[in-house]
Amino acid sequence: MDLLYPERCVNCGAFGASFCDSCEARMLDAPPIPRCAFCRGHWDGKDNCPRCFELQALDGVRAVADYEGPARRLVLSLKYRYTLPVVPVMARHLQPLFDDEAFDAVVPVPLHPSRQRYRGFNQAELLHRELGLPQPPGQLLRVRRTRAQYALTSVGRAANVAGAFAYHGDALEGLRVAILDDVVTTGATANECARVLRDQGAASVTAVAFARANYGPTSPDDALHI
């Protein structure tokens, strides 16, 4: 199979690796940009940006890279082209975010069962497994099928995921919890997950993602989507 279909970089197409060294360097060497300290979106104003006003259940957002260029292609190649060899690459860059902050439990954002059957995997669960992160005492489930978030406005995204998640299992009393996903845009999905986890007693909930999509402070329509 390797002879017939040799491994190629998902960003530039070079042979030899699923993500070549030069593309990895491009992703990591992005110039510094002023950011909101809370949600990590682009922001050069004072205090937190207006995006954060709706993220009341979260204690912050952390991400490896902006959802553009090589990082964006990594996410898309895994989610829509099923290029599983990029999982260790993404996990390797996520690891420092978990090294910098101690979490008692890390919860991958769940897919609806019908979506997971169609795709064959949940990319957040693959990253969680690759990183060997601590499991919660229960399970976060997506109990209602939702529309694809990328086609919706910020208000539409929040309404789309409202009531879409439920938690089954032992309570999270006093635990510091992280929500893991491949990409975060408005944070509506992570915030709804956090609301459910806080209802179970979580002391804090932080969203951690491989990529952070950026958009105008009041309009997600400017975000980079497929």
Tens of pLDDT, residues 34-67: 889 999 888 988 888 888 888 999 999 999 999 9
Please answer whether residues 175 and 104 qualify as being in contact, where contact means their C-beta atoms are separated by less than 8 angstroms.
Answer: yes
With bands split at pLDDT 50, 70 and 90, how would you rate the model's confidence at 226? very low
φ/ψ of 121, rounded to 5, equals: -165, 165
Tens of pLDDT, residues 61-117: 999 999 999 999 999 999 999 999 999 999 999 999 999 888 999 999 999 999 899
How many CA atoms within 13 Å lie on the side-chain side of 107? 35
- Tell me the percentage of the chain whose pLDDT exceeds 90: 65
Q: With a cut of 60, say whether residue 222 has pLDDT above it.
A: no
Distance between CA atoms of 89 and 18, rounded to whole angstroms?
9
Distance between CA atoms of 212 and 181, rounded to whole angstroms?
10
Please answer whether residues 57 and 191 qualify as being in contact, where contact means their C-beta atoms are separated by less than 8 angstroms.
Answer: yes
Q: With a cut of 80, say whether residue 220 has pLDDT above it.
A: no
Please provide the average confidence, as pLDDT, over all residues in the chain.
Answer: 88
Q: Does domain 36-222 have CATH number 3.40.50.2020?
A: yes
Residues facing residue 180 across a β-bridge? 108, 208
